[in-house]
């Protein structure tokens, strides 16, 4: 497999593992990027962006990143906190009064970011494609939703609600939803190829997703240690897992592979990015990039602080959450990530993180979906392990 791009001396192991993913791990097309000490040290891409057409992956190819989109939303919200426009410990209803319905008046922004609010299901008004296009029906459904446990007392993945709920808050303080605000205030100034709602003129650069042929193939993830509870829940229509993850959507699994779907602002599940864009974005959370820094030291510390840990009420497995991000612990995060690192993965196989202790940021974007739903499959683990092995060589 011919790879393109650059690798700084010391990080050659990343190139080697990337090549192995194409040879041994079923990679179709992908990009991987690493920033270290404020500069890019890895920027690689290869394979096919569209296997049916034979279109090669290019330097400017972007792909759907599924739940890694939540990281872009969290970064947007925390940057508004950094600017003094949002307060983590104010009730969401302070900014969005309609949210106080159905016993949600005391839920704080921090509870949402740490997946502790209990607002995890929209099965009462499942999300439709048209609802995503319009936006308002999804906001109305969240406003009408009831918490599934006493807010603040437990945690459970806000898989469908996270991005939309926070987008409604962003709109109250900026005048626009999170997609346009992220583009204007974060991605634009940093020159990032990261989008919550892909601009139509960029659609020709979008890689075509290669999805599992059936949910049986996705279910292979149940064989991974620590994942059985999730897949048992997804197979049980009476479970909260099923209700929150499947019952909250009235959109077919195959919609994710429709290129036009990427044009919709779907902040929980359907952003697009390049690996270089994600790595640079996370680098800007922990250090200055192009004269800009998104988080101060206090927010960097909080982002990587473990606020929620243990059995997830929704996913029925162990999860660990910082302030808006996955943190080390549990099956969704590579085992080589150190304490205080923070990031997010997605069902398309994408993963991105920042490690402030090592001044490191990482992005990986493939077009072949992961059997583990939230990423961190063999491809991610191998690349992240290679990055940390390379740190010693490059130091």
pLDDT in tens, 51-100: 999 999 999 999 999 999 999 999 999 999 999 999 999 999 999 999 99
Residue 247 CB coordination number (10 Å): 18
Give the pLDDT confidence score for residue 339 in this predicted structure.
92
Does residue 165 surpass a pLDDT of 90?
Answer: yes
CA 358-195-143 angle, to 5 degrees, is 100
Mean pLDDT on 226-241 = 89
Q: How far is CA 98 from CA 108, 115, 165, 356, in A?
A: 14, 20, 11, 37
| CB contact set of 54 (below 8 Å; sequence gap of 6+) | 48
Percentage of residues in the chain with pLDDT exceeding 70? 94
8 A C-beta contact, residue 336 and residue 314: no
Each residue's pLDDT tens digit, 3-33: 999 999 999 999 999 999 999 999 999 999 9
DSSP designation for 34: E
pTM above 0.85, yes or no: yes
Write b or e for each residue in 34-48: b if 16 or more Cβ atoms lie within 10 A of its Cβ, otherwise e: bbbeeebbbbbbbbb
Give the pLDDT confidence score for residue 392 in this predicted structure.
81
Position 322 confidence tier, pLDDT thresholds 50, 70, 90 = very high
Question: How is domain 3-394 classified at the CATH fold level?
Answer: Beta-lactamase (3.40.710)
Range of weakest confidence among 25-29, 146-150, 180-184, 210-214: 210-214
Give the pLDDT confidence score for residue 308 in this predicted structure.
97
Instruction: Report residue 385 as tokens.
Output: 């392990």
Residue with tokens 């010693």: 392
Does residue 221 surpass a pLDDT of 60?
Answer: no
Give the pLDDT confidence score for residue 170 in this predicted structure.
99
Position 218 confidence tier, pLDDT thresholds 50, 70, 90 = very low
Does residue 231 surpass a pLDDT of 90?
Answer: no
Does residue 382 surpass a pLDDT of 80?
Answer: yes
CA distance 122 to 146: 9
Range of weakest confidence among 4-8, 145-149, 373-377: 373-377
Does residue 213 surpass a pLDDT of 70?
Answer: no
Give the pLDDT confidence score for residue 219 in this predicted structure.
42
Q: Domain boundaries in the chain?
A: 3-394
**Mean pLDDT for the chain overall:** 94
Give the pLDDT confidence score for residue 330 in this predicted structure.
81
Mean pLDDT on 131-153 = 97
DSSP string, 314-363: TTSSEEEE-SSSB-SSSTTS-TTPPTT-EEEE-TTS-EEEEEGGGTEEEE
Position 154 confidence tier, pLDDT thresholds 50, 70, 90 = very high
Does residue 190 surpass a pLDDT of 60?
Answer: yes
Instruction: Report residue 277 as tokens.
Output: 């864009």
């Amino acid at each position: 497999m011919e790879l393109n791009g650059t690798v700084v001396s010391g990080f050659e192991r990343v190139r080697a593992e990337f090549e192995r993913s194409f040879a041994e791990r079923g990679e179709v097309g992908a990009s991987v990027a690493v920033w270290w000490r404020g500069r890019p040290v890895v920027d690689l891409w290869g394979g096919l962006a569209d296997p049916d057409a034979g279109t090669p992956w290019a330097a400017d190819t972007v792909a759907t990143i599924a739940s890694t989109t939540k990281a872009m939303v969290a970064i947007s919200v925390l940057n508004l906190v950094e600017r003094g426009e949002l307060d983590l410990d104010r009730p969401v209803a302070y900014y969005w009064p309609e949210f106080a319905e159905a016993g949600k008046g005391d839920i704080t922004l921090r509870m949402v970011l740490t997946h502790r609010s209990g607002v995890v299901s929209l099965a009462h008004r499942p999300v439709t494609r048209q609802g995503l296009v319009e936006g308002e029906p999804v906001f109305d459904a969240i406003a009408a939703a009831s918490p599934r446990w006493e807010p603040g007392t437990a945690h459970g993945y806000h898989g469908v609600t996270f991005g939309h709920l926070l987008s409604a808050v962003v709109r109250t303080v900026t005048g626009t939803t999170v997609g346009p605000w992220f583009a204007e205030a974060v991605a634009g100034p940093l020159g990032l190829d990261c989008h919550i709602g892909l601009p139509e003129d960029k659609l020709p650069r979008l890689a075509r997703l290669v999805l599992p042929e059936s949910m049986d193939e996705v279910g292979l993830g149940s064989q991974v240690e620590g994942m059985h509870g999730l897949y048992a829940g997804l197979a049980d229509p009476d479970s909260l897992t099923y209700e929150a993850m499947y019952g909250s959507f009235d959109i077919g699994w195959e919609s994710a592979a429709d290129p036009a779907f990427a044009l919709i602002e779907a902040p929980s599940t359907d952003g697009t990015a390049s690996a270089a864009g994600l790595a640079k974005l996370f680098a800007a959370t922990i250090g200055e990039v192009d004269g800009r820094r998104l988080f101060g030291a206090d927010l960097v510390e909080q982002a990587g602080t473990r606020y929620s840990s243990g059995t997830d009420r929704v996913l029925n497995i162990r999860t660990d959450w910082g302030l808006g991000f996955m943190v080390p612990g549990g099956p969704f995060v590579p085992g080589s990530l150190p304490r205080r690192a923070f990031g997010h993965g997605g069902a398309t196989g994408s993963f991105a993180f920042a490690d402030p202790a090592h001044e490191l940021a990482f992005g990986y974007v493939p077009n072949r979906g992961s059997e583990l739903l939230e990423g961190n499959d063999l491809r991610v683990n191998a690349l992240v392990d290679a990055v940390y092995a390379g740190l010693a060589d490059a130091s």
